[in-house]
Every structure is written in C-alpha cells, then in structure tokens.
Structure 1
Amino acid sequence: MNKGTGREPQGSRLTVLRQSTLITVCVYAAFGLVGAGVGWLAGLLADWLVTLPWAPLQGPAELVVSLPAPVLPAAGAVAGLVLGLVAQYEQLVVRLSDERVALTRKGREQEFPRDAVATVFRDGGQLVLLGHGGGELTRQECDLDTGRVADAFTEHGYAWADADPHQDEFRRWVPGAPGLPEGANALLKARQESLEKKGSSDDDVEELREELARLGVVVRDEKRRQYWRTFHKAGPAAE
C-alpha cells in the first residue's frame, strides 16, 4: 500500500483527527512522573538491600547507592518520556477530505479515494473502512472519540454506520471450518497461534489478516477467538 502524497485539490476541505494537545501533554507528563517515581523507589530499594548482607543483588544495589540522588529519578523520567513518545507514535491520525481519507499509525500511512469507501464504523476500539464488495479496506486501533469521528466522516459525505452491517455473517473459526477458500484454514491456524502466543508480534497478526483479505476473507477477533466471513473480492482500492 503506497504512502499518500498528502496533497488535496485546491479549495478542498481537510479535517485532521488526532488526540488533542492537552491529552498528549498529559500522557507525556504521566509517563514522566511515573518513570521518576519508579526511579526514586529503585533508589530506596537499593538503600534497603545494602543493609541486608544476605540479600541478593548486593553488587547492583551498591552501584545504585553510589549514584548521586537525582540520577535515578531523572533516568526514570527520561524512560517515561520515551514510553510516552512510543504511545504517541501508536496513536491513529485521520486526515479526511471530500476526495480521500488517509490513516496514519506507527509511521505507516494508508490512503483511500472517497469512491472506494462504502461504509465506515467503529468495532469496539477499532475504526473500520469497508469497500463496496464487503471487504475491509482497513481496520485500525482508534482511541479517538466516536462521536467526533462519526461527525467528521459524515460531514465529508462518507456513509457512517453505528455497527458492522455484516456482523450477522461472522462465524467462529475452528480448524478445518468448511466454506473457506483454499488456503484460508492454514492462515487462520497460523494466526490463531500468533494470537495465543505470549510476546507474539501484532505485525504478524495483521500481516495474516491482510493475507486472508487477499483470499476474500474478513476476520475479527474477540478474546483471542477468530470470527470470519467471506466477501466478493474486487480490485485494489488504496492508492
């Protein structure tokens, strides 16, 4: 999927949806304060450990105690700010115009022309764009206010649904489920293993979702259970 140019026709209205500056500042402040607090507590723990000759980790504890008092809270605050930066990097940014919609998350931008998008809706904490053939153009984690997102899409002429119009078509996947295209069961099995594996990458799960979409299968997750439906495949819609 190619990155969009970010350019709109002259005079086109553009709406950008992202977390407010206030919320972003609060996130950074919270992570920074928590990190500083953890650093301070680590210093207290080290002070206590060095008084106990039988306690483990005496060497690291003595090293920590030898550091100037402000070092650990400062280091914790920096670590907290880095985590805040990661959290911001993972937030969804939506750019809407009457001609196209662009979604950016984790440094990846997906762009779709207006006439490729049939319906938009929220599925729990995810924003979903459906194509005219019933397939999902994209499904993205979204912590933006639902009403704000719905209003923006509606104002630009997109069809917004309060629920998935195909929700009654989903069936729970079990190994060897009938009715699936050739190769889909193998992909669903691999995806199920990724969902259940501790420390597995979300990228692997999403990559397998995209592979299933190429076969004409939509998949959604509920508590590590997969539910699927098929759709009529059409040509690629993203630019």
Structure 2
Amino acid sequence: MAAREPGDVVVVDGGPGEQVLMWVGFPLLGAGLGAGLTAVSGWIAGLAWFPFQGVFELLDRWPDQRAYPVGAGVAALAGLVLAFLGARERLTVTVGHRSVRLHRDGHGRDVARAAVTGVFVDGRALVLLYDAGGELARERSDLSAERLRAAFTRQGWPWTGQDPHRDAYRRWVAGLPGLPPGADALLRARQRAVDRGHGDEARELHGELARLGVVVRDEGKRQYWRLLPHPRNH
C-alpha cells in the first residue's frame, strides 16, 4: 500500500490486507487442514511413507471430541508460526526526497538520494544503483512494482524501469574464466545457499562479491554476473 505520510514521504508496504491474510488467514487455513487430516487420520496412519505416523495413529485412537480440537489446534499453531516468519520477511520502503529507508525484520537501512543513479525492479527485487553501475541495495519482496515506481517518481528519484546493465550479465558456470581471484569460490558457495533456500547467506555472499567488483543477479536458481569497472568498498 502506498500512502502519504507526515514529513512528505511515501510508504510502500503490503498494507493491512496482507496482515489480515497472514495473521488470520494462515491460522484458519491451518485449522481447516488439520481438521481434514484428522478426519482421515486412520487412513494416513496406514501409509508407511507419510511423515508423523505416530501423531496420526494417536489421533485415530482418540475420540472425535478430543482428536479434532487437537488436530486443528496444532495446525492452526503452525499457521501462526508461518505468519510470524512471513511478517519478519516483509519489506517496508519509505521514500523521501533525500533518502529511502528499507526496513525488514526489525532492521532498517537508509540510502541517500545523492548516491543513487538508478532505481528499478528486477523480477521480485528492488534495486538501487550508484554511478559506477554497482548496487547499493537489492531487496527481494512481493511489493507491487507499480506502487514502487509511483513512490520513487513522486519523490523525484531516477526510476529507470529496467536494469540498464542487463545485457552485460553472463551466466555463471563454475570454472569459466573472466572473474577476479576468489570470486568463483564465492559464487560456488552462494549457489549452494541459493539451492538450499538460505537467503541470509546468499545476501551476505552477494555483498562479498560486490567488494570484488562482481554484481550478481538471480533468475530462479541460476546466477548471472557482471564486472564493475571500479569496485567500491562498502
């Protein structure tokens, strides 16, 4: 949701609808799923490959008035856990005339307008570039690209619409020449993090590569890279 705030800034976040979906919808969905699984717990208990066999065997032995509240309650609790994890990963972007604040999981960082030469959305990532073509920020989110565009252009930021360096990227394949010393090993480690869904580790390695003058972007689980003419220390 984008809205005018005191201090002449524009805030872009998921809005109240996303909060309701996570904190109400996930537990309700979990409770319904739990009740449905409880109803067929006897059948599931007979499937040797299905996980948590002991739980379903126990639910099958219990009377309905006990089994259904427990089955639905445990699944609803799992929905609350998912809501909590989702809330932690939500990105909030606060755009002012002189800076933008990127806030996630209780932590925020500010990027000065004077340092930014381009802003665009690459897939699901908001990207801010500096003058040498490097990335000051690359933040993944489910925020609307149109709302982000409206917020940044309203505040006079250089919205480019797409990556001006997109044609410079090459697909990473282990061992191919052209990378600076140490970059191939970092890309190997980052590929493992991407494959395993370890987002924090992948972001950390993204920063390490940037210090070597290597910019990385992902398409699915494939890595693409390009070199900076002048690496920048962060």
Q: Indicate the TM-score class for this superposition, using the shorter chain for normalisation.
A: 0.7 to 0.9
- Counterpart position of 1:74: 73
Q: For residues 61 and 193 of structure 1, what CA distance do their matches in structure 2 show?
A: 35
Q: Kindly indicate whether residue 164 of structure 2 is the aligned counterpart of residue 169 of structure 1.
A: no
Residue equivalent to 2:32: 37
Residue in 1 that maps onto 2:3: none
Change (3 A) 1:49 1:99: closer
Q: Give 1:12 deviation, angstroms.
A: 3.9
- TM-superposition CA deviations, 1:78-119 (whole Å, max 9, x none): 321221221122111101111211111233322211111111
Q: How far apart, in 2, do the equivalents of 1:91 and 1:60 lie?
A: 33
Does the Cα contact within 8 Å between 2:26 and 2:79 map onto a contact in 1?
yes
For structure 2, the 5+ residue unaligned runs are 1-5
Normalised by the size of structure 2, how large is the TM-score?
A: 0.84
In the alignment, the residues of structure 1 paired with residue 40 and residue 55 of structure 2 have an alpha-carbon distance, to the nearest angstrom, of 11
| Structure-2 change in CA distance of 1:159 and 1:58 (3 Å) | closer
Return closer, same or farther for 1:122/1:60 CA change in 2, 3 Å cut-off: closer
Q: Which position in structure 2 is the counterpart of 1:223?
A: 220
Please identify, of 204-213 and 57-66, the stretch whose mean Cα deviation from structure 2 is larger.
57-66
**Match in the other structure for 2:181:** 182
1:200 CA drift (Å): 4.7
Within-5 A mapping of 1:2-41:
12-41=7-36
Structure 2 counterpart of 1:234, one-letter code: R
Q: CA deviation at 1:233?
A: 2.4
Deviation at 1:73, TM superposition (A): 1.4
Residues 1:220 and 1:106: Cα distance change in structure 2 (over 3 Å): same
- How far is 1:61 from its partner? 3.9
AA aligned opposite 1:129: L
The residue aligned with 1:145 is 144
Q: Give the distance between the partners of 2:120 and 2:86, measured in 1 at CA.
A: 24
Give the CA deviation at 1:169. Answer: 0.8
- Structure 1 residue ranges without an equivalent (≥5): 1-10
Task: Summarize the Cα distance change of 1:194–1:68 in structure 2 as closer, same or farther, 3 Å threshold.
Answer: closer
Kept in 2, the 8 Å contact 1:12–1:98? The answer is no
Question: What's the counterpart of residue 233 of structure 1?
Answer: 231
Contact 1:119-1:159 within 8 A present in 2 as well: yes
Q: Which amino acid aligns with 1:112?
A: V
Identity of aligned residues (%): 43
In structure 1, give the amino acid aligned to 2:131. H
Q: Which residue of 1 aligns with 2:202?
A: 205
The structure in which a higher percent of residues are helix is 2
Q: How does 1:29-108 map to 2 (within 5 A)?
A: 29-48=24-43, 60-64=55-59, 65-66=61-62, 67=66, 69-108=68-107
CA-CA distance at 1:160 after TM superposition:
0.4
Deviations 1:147-205, CA, capped at 9 Å, x for gaps: 11101111112100111011111111222333322211221122223333xx3522221
Distance in structure 1 (CA, Å) of the matches to 2:197 and 2:100? 30
Q: Report the 3-state secondary structure (helix = DSSP H, G, I; strand = E; otherwise coil) of the residue aligned with 1:161.
A: coil
What's the TM-score once normalised by structure 1's chain length? 0.82
Q: What value does the CA root-mean-square deviation take over the aligned residues?
A: 2.6
Amino acid corresponding to residue 207 of structure 1 in structure 2: E
Instruction: Name the CA shift for 1:148/1:58 in 2 (closer, same or farther; >3 Å).
Output: closer
Equivalent AA in structure 1 for residue 210 of structure 2: A
**In the TM superposition, what is the alpha-carbon distance from 1:121 to its structure 2 partner?**
0.2
Question: Partners in 1 of 2:20 and 2:177 — Cα distance?
Answer: 50
